[in-house]
Chains A and B, each alone.
Chain A
Amino acid sequence: MTQPSLITRDLTIRFGGHVAVNAVSCAFHPGELTVIVGPNGAGKTTYFNLISGQLSASSGQVIKDGVDLTRMAPSARAHHGIGRAFQLTNLFPALSVLENIRLAVQARAGMGWRMLRPVRHFRVLSEKAEHFLEATRLGARAHQPAALLPHGDQRKLEVALLMAMEPDVYMFDEPTAGMSLDHAPEVLELIAGIKRDTTKTVLLVEHKMEVVRALADRIIVLHNGELLAQGDPAEVMASQLVRDVYLGKSEGVA
């Protein structure tokens, strides 16, 4: 077994008296795609926020390749290889699609402080941005402001931003939420492509069972902020406990 790239150790966050994520310890390995499931309010997105740094843990640790990220700002975690796409579209609305992607490329290249030469002189950035633009098939929209894109394309741009960060750990939070049936496969194909790279670790929050079956190497189940079960997808989904909390009683997803 490879060394885990990302570990959460007793990761906990309390909001007042409410414990949203409770002592979740879990390891994620390169070349492995882990789907995180759980009913609404189980703490999946909160768990993601603790890993990528939008929230600070009350206790516990986030460790990436032996480095403790727990007290770092989101930007520092990004430089340590944690990349995150958001559930609710979270773009730079007035900027063009290409500029959105170039910003992510530029952050990855550590060139944000360059201030003496015009952007267009940095050919490397534009070429890489074009690459991710084509990879996500947003080429035709390159010069439109992100705010004017149809919902499906905004979701794709969300994924493009994550890909342009070229992280070690990819975190997708319901990437196909609200997408039409003809757009969703494009995004899933992109995720499958990332999964084929055995140096990358992928975390995916997803409700759709067919997606879970197609992509998951492993499943972890969160319930009321606690890690309820983890393991092989088929086994986990078959276990009575998981059926009760997740499939049976809470939501009725088949």
Chain B
Amino acid sequence: MTTTSTYGSIAVKLMVLLIAAALLFAPFLFQDVRSVEVAARICIFIVLVASYDLLIGYTGIVSFAHTMFFGFGAYGAAILLKQMGPGWGPVVLGGLAGIALSLVIAVAIGLLSLRVKAIFFAMITLAAASVALVLASQLSHLTGGEDGITYSAPDLFKPATKLLVDADGKVMKIAGVRMNGKIAAYYFVFASSAVLFALMLRLVGSPLGTVLKAIRENEARAEAIGYRVVAYRTFVFCISAVVASLAGTIYAVWLKYTGPETALSFDIMIDILLMVVIGGMGTMWGPVIGATLLVIAQYYLRDLMGVAAEAVSSVPVLPELLNPDRWLFWLGILFILLVYFFPKGIAGTAMEKGVRQ
């Protein structure tokens, strides 16, 4: 948190730049459906985890309701896309509805409980998130219950849409990639995530960002020198809820499906927590690294283990250990090692290393 720059912080920024470049060119670099799926999920989770880091890392607020706000945005768009049919109208309206609901709930939770002790606040968010989850499964005529909702995205994002056509009227290919609606959908996800991330980066570097850190460091003193702590906390809780809600809307448009599993479950909350802890709290670079690593691990560790098990098939015991079905076991070990060697997360720990003279 000091202003002295270290080689570690340069390394972290390079890593982030590399991830950004990989995401920017993902459809061209990795030309299969699954990879682009992974890239889009990384984009969304970077935004979602970064918005959570505003709370936990910058301001020191522990909330378990982050997926609830994500879900509001996702369900807002999903319900309207289902009811009104594909188009930009339902996306915008649904997104706005998600934001509005998130704001109302965030202000209510914030004003009612940000004055009380951190543990009570965390419990209240947990309760609110549980209620949202139950409601989503109960109001099944609206939300599709446990099955969720399947719908169509705006026409622009349909695979049949031709963004660019060549002389013959066929979809133009650039570097072997078809310029169709799928590409448009990916770049919609990428661009909107990039804008949201840039806004958060701007926020944490502003005078307001310094106040948030001051509240995290010493709430009583921040109040004593003249910052109304409750107001700042409620505000950042709202900002973070709105960003999470927008991320949910974007994800809903991308997936063309919204259900408890993709938008509301506590598994997502746990993923967010793991990503922010592994990446590093209190720096915007942490969520980038954490989200990228975890999503890649979730998608590819099984494949990797399959290959590894194959390679050592002649050795006893080893293939058993490396059986792809045991991927969660290895993921767990990976987490323990990461937390052990990077107690402040990858970004947080690395940025302290290699002080420049």
* Contacts from A to B (Cβ < 8 Å): 52-54, 73-76, 78-79, 84, 86, 90-96, 98-99, 102-104, 106-108, 111-119, 122, 125, 143-145, 161, 165
Contacts and interface: CB of A to CB of B under 8 A. Distances in A.
Contacts of B3: 96, 98-99, 143
Contact of A78 (B208, B209, B226): B226
A165 B1 CA distance: 23
Contacts of B232: 112
Contacts of A84: 224
Contact of B1 (A75, A95, A104, A117): A95
Contact of B217 (A52, A94, A98, A102): A94
8 contacts: A86-B221, A90-B224, A94-B213, A99-B3, A106-B210, A112-B208, A119-B207, A119-B209
A92 B212 CA distance: 11
A117 to B, nearest CB: 6
B226 A115 contact: no
B228 A125 contact: no
Interface stretch (B35-43, B177-185, B198-206, B270-278): B198-206
Contact of B226 (A86, A107, A118): A107
A75 B232 CA distance: 12
B221 A116 contact: no
A143 B2 contact: yes
A74 B228 CA distance: 8
A211 B225 CA distance: 26
A92 B227 contact: no
B145 to A, nearest CB: 40
B223 interface: yes
Interface of B: 1-4, 202-203, 205-211, 213-214, 217-218, 220-229, 232
Nearest to B211: A112
A108 B227 CA distance: 9
Given A90-B220, A143-B3, 12 more contacts: A54-B220, A75-B223, A75-B226, A91-B218, A96-B3, A99-B3, A107-B227, A113-B207, A113-B208, A114-B206, A117-B202, A144-B2
Contact of B207 (A91, A98, A122, A144): A122
Contacts, number: 110
Given A112-B227, A114-B208, A115-B209, A92 B202 contact: no
A130 to B, nearest CB: 14
A16 B202 CA distance: 48
Nearest to B239: A115
A92 B221 contact: yes
B220 A125 contact: no
B223 A73 contact: yes
Nearest to A147: B217
B239 to A, nearest CB: 9
A118 B2 contact: no
Given A75-B229, A78-B224, A116-B202, A145 B1 contact: yes
**Which 10 residue pairs spanning A and B have beta carbons closest together?**
A78-B226, A107-B226, A92-B217, A115-B208, A114-B207, A115-B206, A118-B205, A94-B1, A75-B228, A112-B211
B2 A165 contact: no
Contacts of A106: 207, 210-211
Contacts of A54: 220, 224
Looking at B205, B209, B218, the one whose CB has the most chain A CB atoms below 10 A away is B218
B213 A92 contact: yes
Given A106-B210, A116-B202, A125-B207, A90 B225 contact: no
B207 A115 contact: yes
A145 B218 CA distance: 14
Nearest to B228: A75
A11 B1 CA distance: 42
Looking at A104, A111, A113, A165, the one whose CB has the most chain B CB atoms below 10 A away is A113
Contact of A79 (B2, B207, B214, B226): B226
B207 A75 contact: no
B337 to A, nearest CB: 26
B2 A96 contact: yes
Contacts of B213: 92, 94-95
Contacts of A122: 207
Contacts of B227: 75, 107, 112
Nearest to A92: B217
Given A119-B206, A119-B210, A145-B2, A108 B218 contact: no
Nearest to A120: B205
